Structure formats: C-alpha cells, structure tokens
Amino acid sequence: MAKPATIQIKLESTGGTGYYYVTKKNPRNITEKMVMKKYDPVLRKHVDFKEGKIK
C-alpha cells in the first residue's frame, strides 16, 4: 500500500498560552512551515499559530 500524502501537524499559539490546534498538511504541496492566524480562547483573541511536530 502507498503512504498517505498528508501528515498531521500541531499548530502552536505564539501567545505563549500552550494552546494548539491539530490539522493535516500535504508536505508535497506546502513545503514551508505553516503559519495561520486563528483564535486562542485562553487569550480571547486571534494570534498567529506556527507549525510544530506532534510527539
């Protein structure tokens, strides 16, 4: 069987709260690290979330 094209990644908050989202990414199409602006419920505002590995 073939390997799946998508991998799971963790989007960690840059606000320093430790909050994170888990999402999928296709590393063949998106080679650089993902940065998304999403809602951090601990800070109660939108901040940048940067990609990290799931342990």
Question: Is pTM, for the whole model, over 0.75?
Answer: yes
Domains parsed from the chain with CATH numbers: 7-52 (2.20.28.120)
Give the tens place of pLDDT for each residue, 28-41. 999 999 999 999 99
How confident is the model at residue 1, as a pLDDT?
Answer: 87
How confident is the model at residue 43, as a pLDDT?
Answer: 97
Give the tens place of pLDDT for each residue, 5-29. 999 999 999 999 999 999 999 999 9
How confident is the model at residue 16, as a pLDDT?
Answer: 94
CA distance 28 to 6: 9
Contact, 19 vs 41, CB < 8 A? yes
